[in-house]
Structure formats: C-alpha cells, structure tokens
Amino acid sequence: MHDLFAITALGGSSPQTDRVGNVTCTESPGVALASVAARSGQEPKARTALGALIGADAPSVGRFAGNPVMAFWTGPDQWMVAAPFDTHEELAHLANTQLGDTASVCEQTDAWVRFDLDGDDVLAVMELLCVLDCRKMQAGEAARTAIHHLGCFVICRSSGAFSLYGPRSSAGSLHHAIVAAMKSAL
C-alpha cells in the first residue's frame, strides 16, 4: 500500500460542508470515476458489458443507472462510471477488465470534484447556477451543462438532491459560485 496522503479538491484533508437555510452543499471526494467509450462497431457489446458492470441496463441518453457501481450517459456511446472510492479506487482497471476491447476506458477519478446539494429549496439554488430546467429533472437524469463558465455534470439523485461534477482544478471557483447562490437564494 502506498503512503501518499490525499487532499480533497478544495485542498483540505477532509471534505467541506456548507449549509444555508435548508440546503447543504457537501464536497464528496469519495467517488472513483472512469470514462467508457464504445469502440466502433462494438457498441452493443460495450453496452452489455457495461450493464454487467453496473448491474443494470446501460443508461440511455441523459440517464444514469446502477448501484453501487453506477454509470451516467455522457455522449453517444459514452458513459462515466462511478463507484465508491474506498472500495473501487482502481475502478478504471476494473472497467477495463470487464469491458475488454469493446470499449476504451480512461481513469477520470481526479479529473472531477463532486458537490452534493441537498435540501427542500435546492431548486432555488439550481436556477441561479445553470440553464437546465432542474424543476423538470427527475431522479435518474444526468446532463452536462455550464455553471459559471465551467463544464459540469448535473445528476438528479432525487427531486431535492443534485450532484454536481465540475473540473477539479476549478473546485474553489465552483464552490464559491454554489455557496454564493445559496446565500442569494435562501
């Protein structure tokens, strides 16, 4: 086991939590990520193999599925696979093994920072952050959009619960935008 200590995207040794009104924003470093892109001509096989990996049908456009290993759709025949970091730090390796030559797999764990937004009034915060019609988003939907000039994935876990994946190097800027929106809206 290696002996290098990890820091969170916000630079702390433990994740940061902010609360305004009834909405909480939690930095969530405990997720491993890997991208999966089907090889040309292998798309059906890749979908099947991905389904096996996440224990559900490979998600269609704009959806996510699976637990504890889940995947969300990111593009035509492309997905992001996510799983708990503690148990799946080598997720890319696992995915690569399972998908074989049906897909190209690339580790993405530390390309992203994840913030979980929870609370009754979360929609009031989301409408200050992104152009998606979050009021209409249902549990199981995933979309990519821009938040304060940053390309982000927005995952709707349930009607009052969203996860935002943003570029890790800009975690501080994204966090600042989220908290400012919380203070403004709540």
Partner 1 sequence: MIINHPLLGSRDSSEFVYLGDASLIDRPDWQAEHAAEAFYDYAYLRDNPAGEHRELWFHEGGDRSWLVVTRNTVTHEISKVELARDVARAQGRSK
Partner 2 sequence: MTQINRLSGGQIDRATTLNFRFDNRSYTAHPGDTLASALLANGVRLMGRSFKYHRPRGVLTAGSEEPNAIVELRTGNRQEPNTRATTTEMFDGLEAHSQNRWPSLKFDALAINDQFSKFLSAGFYYKTFMWPAAFWEKLYEPMIRRAAGLGSLSMQEDPDEYDKGFRHCDLLIIGAGPSGLMAALTAGRAGADVILADEDFTLGGRLNSETFSLGDETAANWAGQMVAELSALPNVRLMPRTTVIGAFDHGIYGAVERTGDHLATLPAGKPRQILWRIYSKRALLCAGATERPIAFENNDRPGVMLASALRTYANRFASSAAQRAAIFTNNDDGHRTAADLHAKGVKIVAVVDIRPDAPINYEYEVLAGAQIVDTKGRLGLTFAEVKLSDGSTRTLDCGALGVSGGWNPNVHLTCHQRGRPAWNSDLAAFVPGADLPPGLSVAGAASGLMSTHAALQSGTEEAAQVLELKGSLPDLPDAEDAPVSQTPFWYVQGCARAWLDQQNDVTVKDVKLSHQEGFRSVEHLKRYTTLGMATDQGKTSNMGGLALMAELAGKSIPDTGTTIFRPPYTPVPIGTFAGRMKGQAFHPTRLTPSHYWAKERGAVFVEVGNWLRAQWFPLPGETHWRESVDREVRQTRASVGVCDCTTLGKIDVQGTDAADFLNRIYCNGFAKLAVGKTRYGLMLREDGITMDDGTAGRLAEDHFVVTTTTANAVKVYQHMEFVRQCLFPDMDVQLISTTEAWAQYAVAGPNSRKLLRKIVDPEFDISNEGFPFMACGNITVCGGLRARLFRISFSGELAFEIAVPSRYGDALMRRLMSEGEEFDVVPYGTEALGVMRIEKGHAAGNELNGTTTALNLGMGRMVSKKKDSIGSTLSEREGLNEDDALKMVGIKPVNTGDQITAGGHLMGASGPVDAAHDQGYVTSAAFSPSLDSHIGLGFLKSGDTRLGEKMRLVSPLTDLTVEVEIVSAHFVDPEGERLRA
Nearest to 146 by CA among 162, 130, 157: 130
User: Given the rule CB under 8 A, which residues bind partner 1?
Assistant: 61-62, 74-76, 78, 131, 143-146, 151
Beta carbons of 72 and 84 less than 8 angstroms apart: no
Token pair belonging to 14: 């433990």
Q: Is 22 a residue that touches partner 2 (CB under 8 A)? A: no
Give the dihedral sign, CA 53/90/108/19.
positive
User: What residue type is assigned to position 98 of the chain?
Assistant: Q
Cis amide prior to 15 (ω within 30 degrees): no
Token pair belonging to 131: 């152009």
Q: Is 24 a residue that touches partner 2 (CB under 8 A)? A: no
Q: Is 167 a residue that touches partner 2 (CB under 8 A)? A: yes
Binding site partner of 4, from partner 1, partner 2, none, Cβ cut-off 5-8 A by kind? partner 2
Beta carbons of 33 and 81 less than 8 angstroms apart: yes
Beta carbons of 14 and 73 less than 8 angstroms apart: no
Out of 2, 60, 61, 86, name the contact with partner 2 by CB under 8 A.
2
Q: Is 148 a residue that touches partner 2 (CB under 8 A)? A: yes
Choice between 39 and 63, CB closer to partner 2: 39
Size of the site for partner 2 (CB under 8 A): 53
Choice between 110 and 120, CB closer to partner 2: 110
Token pair belonging to 86: 């503690």
Residues that bind partner 2 (CB under 8 A): 1-9, 11, 29, 35, 37-41, 78, 90, 103-104, 106-112, 127-128, 130-133, 135-136, 148-150, 167-174, 176-177, 180-181, 183-184
